[in-house]
Amino acid sequence: MRIVLLGAPGAGKGTQCKYIVDRYHLLHLSSGDILRRHRANGTDLGKKAKEYMDSGALVPDNVIIEMMIDEISNAPDGGYVLDGFPRTARQATDLDKALAERKEKIDAVLNLNVNDDVIIRRITGRRICPKCAAVYHVENLKPRKDGICDKDGSKLIQRPDDTAEVVKTRLKNYNEMTAPLVDYYNRKNTVFNIDANEEAEIVKELVFSKLDPLVERVVL
């Protein structure tokens, strides 16, 4: 099972991926999380990506495509859910080419739709664990102890690109470069449009209602 999750910054891609991964035992491949891992480890790729990410710009296609095709090539047979990739027309066509060479294809595309005002509230209130990448929200998803990760006790941080100002750039890039991918996938795949304005547990049920019929073996 190979799934692509589309949606604006803060739409809840990472949040829904967690539910999807637990239910269907897929690998979560988040291009943003992988880039942040590179940055934390001080790799050349991480250093290259920093400036783009912090300003809300997209990291150049060739860098991202190489990184993600490499991740996909090493993924287990069970499949994966792609979160944040592809994000441009070239990323989408290069992904399809790489999959075709492996006689594989994308099985489903989920498109999370969220209003801009909801996005701003979600992004500016988000806190993340710098160690395990767990995601929290100051109102919607509080950790048990204020400012501390439930999983490993690390001090939660705000992503440098989660300011109201940078979000505007990210949304603009999303609308110009990523939103057109919905049409691209509509021409060749099944795209499930999900109203993701509701709380996470409700969105989760909508997502499961689309994916359950597609998955042969679901562990309930």
Contact footprint for ligand AP5 (CB under 6 A): 7, 9-15, 31-32, 35, 52-53, 56-59, 64, 84-85, 87, 91, 122, 125-126, 135-137, 140-141, 161, 170, 196, 199-200, 203
Judge whether 121 counts as a catalytic residue: no
Shortest gap between Cβ of 195 and ligand AP5 (angstroms)? 10
Left, alpha or beta for 42 (phi > 0: left; psi -120 to 50: alpha)? left
List the one residue out of 26, 22, 14 whose CA is nearest residue 162. 14
Q: Which does 19 bind (CB under 5 to 8 A by kind): ligand AP5, Mg ion, none?
A: none
The vertex-51 CA angle with 37 and 134, nearest 5°, equals 30
Q: Site mask, Mg ion, residues 1-30, x = CB under 5 A?
A: -------------x----------------
Q: Which does 69 bind (CB under 5 to 8 A by kind): ligand AP5, Mg ion, none?
A: none
List the one residue out of 129, 122, 79, 123 whose CA is nearest residue 104. 79
Q: Which does 56 bind (CB under 5 to 8 A by kind): ligand AP5, Mg ion, none?
A: ligand AP5
Q: Which H/E stretch holds residue 135? A: strand 135-137
Judge whether 217 counts as a catalytic residue: no
In whole angstroms, what separates CA 208 from the centre of its chain?
17
User: Rounded to whole angstroms, how far apart are CA atoms 88 and 46?
Assistant: 20
User: Which of 122, 126, 127, 204 does the annotation list as catalytic?
Assistant: 126
Judge whether 13 counts as a catalytic residue: yes
Structure tokens at 173: 């890039």
Judge whether 102 counts as a catalytic residue: no
Q: Which residues bind Mg ion (CB under 5 A)?
A: 14
